Amino acid sequence: MAHKKPNYYLVWLYLLILTVAEVLVAFASGLPFEVLVFILLGLAVWKAALVAMYYMHLRFEPPRLVVLALAPIPLAILITIVVVTMEGF
């Protein structure tokens, strides 16, 4: 292996803690909906990033592959933003 192996169990622990955190935030914290959405999405993205970086080894791949892998994200975000901005319907 060209790179030093990450501690997979540690990542696993992270994911669990974050999941628990999510559920707690969603139900136990009386936060207003807008804030809630924000935090929850943040946590979800964080978890997703962990999986991609360590389990899918993106962190240890040549940069060009990383670029490739991130390519569709803007598009995905774009369509969502545009459709959300249309109080037109």
Partner 1 sequence: MSTTQLLAPNVSAQHWADPSHPDDRPFIRKYVFSTDHKTIGNQFMFMSLFFLLVGGALAMMIRWQLGWPGQPMPGGGVLPETMAPGGILLPEFYNSLVTMHGTFMIFFAIMPLLVGMFGNWLIPLHVGASDMAFPRLNMMSFWTAVPAGFIMLTSFAVEGGAAGAGWTAYPPLSAVPEYSGVSTGQQLWCVSLVILGFSSLMGAVNYITTIVNMRAPGMTWLRLPLPVWALFITAILILLAMPILAGALIMLLFDQTLGTTFFLPETGGQPLLWQHLFWYFGHPEVYILILPAMGIASEVIANGSRKPIFGYPAMVGAIIAIAFLGWIVWGHHMFQSGMNPLLGSSFMLSTMIIAVPSAIKVFNWLGTIWRGDIHFHTPMLNALAFVGMFVIGGLSGVFMASTPVDIYIHDTYFIVAHIHYVLFGGSLFAIFAGIYFWFPKFFGRMLNPTLGKIHFALTFVFYNLVFFPMHNLGLGGMMRRIYDPNQYGFLEPLQPMNTFISVFALALGASQLVFIINILWSLWRGERAPENPWSSNSLEWDLPSPPPHGNFEAMPAVYRGPYEYSYPGRGEDFWPQSEPPDGQQVSVKTGGSPVAEGVPQ
Partner 2 sequence: MSRAAAIHAQAPRPMEGIRVYNVKLGMWVFLLSEVMFFSGLIGAYIILRFAHPEQWAAPGEVLNVPLTAFNTFMLICSSVTMVKAFAAIEHGDQAGLKKWLLATIVLGAAFVGIQIFEYMKLAEHGFVPIASQYAAEGGPLYGSTFYTMTGFHGAHVSIGVLCLIFTASKAFRGQYTEEHYAGVEIMGLYWHFVDLVWIILFTIVYLI
Q: Give yes or no for a contact between 25 and 39, defined as CB atoms under 8 angstroms apart.
A: yes
Candidates 54, 49, 22; CA nearest to 38 is: 22
What residues numbered 29-58 form the site for partner 2, per CB under 8 A? 36-37, 40-41, 43-45, 47-48, 51-52, 54-56
Least distance (Å) between residue 30 CB and partner 2? 13
Least distance (Å) between residue 80 CB and partner 2? 5
Of positions 30, 32, 63, 88, contacts partner 1 by CB under 8 A:
88
Separation of alpha carbons 65 and 69, rounded Å: 6
Query: Among partner 1, partner 2, none, what does residue 30 contact (CB within 5–8 Å per kind)?
Result: none
Separation of alpha carbons 84 and 28, rounded Å: 28
